Amino acid sequence: MFALSEARRIAHAAGLTVFALLLDEPQASANLESLADALGRAGADRILVCEAAGLGAPPLDATHGPALYTAVERVPPMVVLFPTGGPGDELGPSLAMRLGAAYAPSVDIVLSEEAGPLADGVGRIHLRRWRADRSGYRQLDPVEIERPVIAIMGAHGTPRQDGTSDIDVEVITCTAPADPPLSELASEPDDLDTVAQARGLVVLGPQVPPEVAARLRANAPAGVVVVDDSTAPRALAAASPERVLNAGDVAAVTEIAVSPRTAIGVVDLDGSGAATYGAPGRVRPDVVWNAGAKTEAWSELEAAWSASR
């Protein structure tokens, strides 16, 4: 829903239409009305529903890619925006290949501040992401590059309700692949999905006493997940939180898919962290607390933590 809110914010400033796209099993009309209400309020101007047997399963390009392409071609879009923690890293690159588009994960969307008409070849919407070595940004303007941009929203946020429920729903009958080269053998809930969906991540280093780590985990505010070096890199790579707190200069923080909008804080225990700020792969933090090698630092952090809930 946050992705829809952001799409509405930028699209309406740029004079564009927001399409919400759903791939699913054939739906009853009552369900479609309910969807229209929710997605319209979140910011969609129109809804495209691509229906076919099998599309209700977790999306993979081999099973959902062709249907997605069919639906997207109907628009055709300037930007295709996947939500944070969604199927973008599975579907986005292949869609970019099919469309000849640019691709950008963990983006922040920036609107041009120019009030009047823009020059030819300059667009009002820019998508911004960190470079791989986090030394700077890459910025994409769909108008300048004359091709669409497939992007994954970076940094979860609070969705707004700026839209209206009175919007059109168009149902497209898509065709799922008749003989997909895949077969699901087993499926279970992903206990690390909370990491990908977290709005805040706290990354604990080995210096954090285990009992402190346990209390921080138990008292974490809603939407905040506590991780450490043992957390699967794949789960961290799928996370794009609004806030990251690095307590103890943890290498695992480089795995997190931060966006330019992500606020990054560091608890520096002995002053040595400054040497790693800006190291390849690390974003320089926004704020640093030089706690020193003092045991009461953890008590102070826990107290502030509890007060912030």
Partner 1 sequence: MLVCLHAAPPGGSPLTANDREALRLARSLGEDTEVVALMAGTKDEHAALEAAWAWGVDRAARVSGESFAAADFHTLGQVLGSAARTLGADLILGGARSDTEGLGALTASIARHMSLPHLANIESLERYDHPPLAVAVTLRGSGRKRRIGARLPFVMSVARGSAESDLALPAREGTPSIETLAVFDPEVTVIRRRTEILGSSAKVEREPRAVASAAELLEALQPRR
Residues numbered 151 to 180 that lie near partner 1 (CB under 8 A) are 157-158
Q: Which contiguous run of DSSP H or E holds residue 73?
A: helix 61-73
Q: Is the dihedral of CA 247, 248, 252, 258 positive or negative?
A: positive
Q: Does 82 bind partner 1 (CB under 8 A)?
A: no
192, 207, 215, 228: residue in contact with partner 1 (rule CB under 8 A): 192
Amino acid making up residue 97:
M
Q: Does 239 bind partner 1 (CB under 8 A)?
A: no
Where residue 46 falls (left for φ over 0; alpha for ψ -120 to 50; beta otherwise) is beta
CB closer to partner 1, 46 vs 69: 69
Query: Which residue in 74, 6, 88, 82 sits closest to 44, CA to CA?
Result: 6
Cα separation, 192 vs 197, whole angstroms = 9
Which of these segments, 116-124, 161-169, 183-191, 210-218, binds partner 1 (CB under 8 A)? Answer: 183-191
33, 73, 173, 234: residue in contact with partner 1 (rule CB under 8 A): 234
Amino acid making up residue 167:
I
Q: Which contiguous run of DSSP H or E holds residue 263?
A: strand 263-268
Structure tokens at 63: 């099973």
Q: Does 289 bind partner 1 (CB under 8 A)?
A: yes
- Here's the x/- map for partner 1, 49-78, by CB under 8 A: it reads as ---------xxxxx----------------
Least separation, in Å, of the C-beta of 93 and partner 1?
4
Q: 84 with 51: CB under 8 angstroms?
A: no
Cα separation, 216 vs 199, whole angstroms = 16
Structure tokens at 61: 């390009």
- Here's the x/- map for partner 1, 251-280, by CB under 8 A: it reads as ----x-----x-x-xxx---------x--x
94, 240, 259, 276: residue in contact with partner 1 (rule CB under 8 A): 94
Q: Does 199 bind partner 1 (CB under 8 A)?
A: yes
Least separation, in Å, of the C-beta of 38 and partner 1?
18
State which of positions 113-142 bind partner 1 (CB under 8 A).
127, 129, 131-133, 135-141
Least separation, in Å, of the C-beta of 139 and partner 1?
5
